[in-house]
């Protein structure tokens, strides 16, 4: 059975928006996690920055009949049926983030550290250990759209978060 809600997650700078645009071009319904947050009143402003109450994201429901891709580094906090995790080598990620406006050194290092430690995986293991997942390294190669489309059409042939985490990318030991 095809998933109804798929989280497209990963550290900032790993290519989520790029993949979301490609999936949108393929006809998938794509919504940002910010939009989801607005719909469940989970978005607030604090010192001029948007903050999302991640606990409220679980209350969001997709009523469409097609697959919905939720794009954003907090998308895995939604109630989901599957997850696409994008990863990027921390040194490459640091370079990508340093080119973004609004990213000071502290914000860059915080995001690089999160990627280095595989922070998304620890949250997924706690929130959704049994959902099917795919991990994609976006460090140097273009995203293999075919593998993503195959995952979306046959997610049950993939491993759950609980099983895939054992073989996930470990930047510390590389």
Q: How confident is the model over 51-73, as pLDDT tens digits?
A: 999 999 999 999 999 999 999 99
Q: In Å, what is the CA distance from 30 to each residue of 5, 120, 154?
A: 10, 20, 19
**At 1, is the pLDDT very low, low, confident or very high (cuts 50, 70, 90)?**
low
Q: Which of 107, 117, 145 is nearest to 28 (CA)?
A: 145
Place of tokens 């914000």: 107
Per-residue pLDDT reduced to its tens digit, 88-123: 999 999 999 999 998 999 999 999 999 999 999 999
The pLDDT of residue 25 is 97
**44 to 41, 62, 102, 156: CA distances (angstroms):** 8, 22, 19, 36
Q: What are 121-160's pLDDT values in tens digits? A: 999 999 999 999 999 999 987 888 999 999 999 867 778 9
Query: Is this model's pTM higher than 0.85 or not?
Result: yes
What is the chain's Cα-based Rg?
15
Domains of the chain: 5-167 (3.40.50.300)
């Amino acid at each position: 059975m095809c998933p109804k809600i798929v989280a497209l997650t990963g550290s900032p700078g790993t290519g989520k928006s790029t993949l979301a645009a490609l999936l949108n071009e393929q006809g998938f319904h794509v919504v940002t996690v910010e939009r989801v947050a607005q719909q469940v009143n989970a978005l607030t402003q604090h010192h001029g920055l948007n903050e999302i109450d991640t606990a409220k994201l679980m209350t969001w429901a997709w009523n469409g009949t097609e697959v919905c891709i939720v794009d954003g580094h907090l998308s895995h906090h939604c109630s989901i049926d599957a997850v696409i995790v994008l990863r990027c080598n921390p040194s490459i990620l640091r370079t990508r983030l340093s080119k973004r406006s609004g990213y000071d050194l502290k914000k860059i290092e915080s995001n690089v550290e999160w990627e280095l430690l595989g922070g998304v995986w620890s949250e997924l293991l706690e929130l959704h250990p049994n959902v099917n997942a795919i991990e994609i390294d976006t460090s140097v190669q273009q995203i293999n759209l075919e593998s993503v489309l195959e995952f979306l059409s046959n997610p049950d042939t993939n491993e759950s978060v609980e099983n895939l985490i054992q073989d996930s990318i470990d930047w510390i030991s590389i």
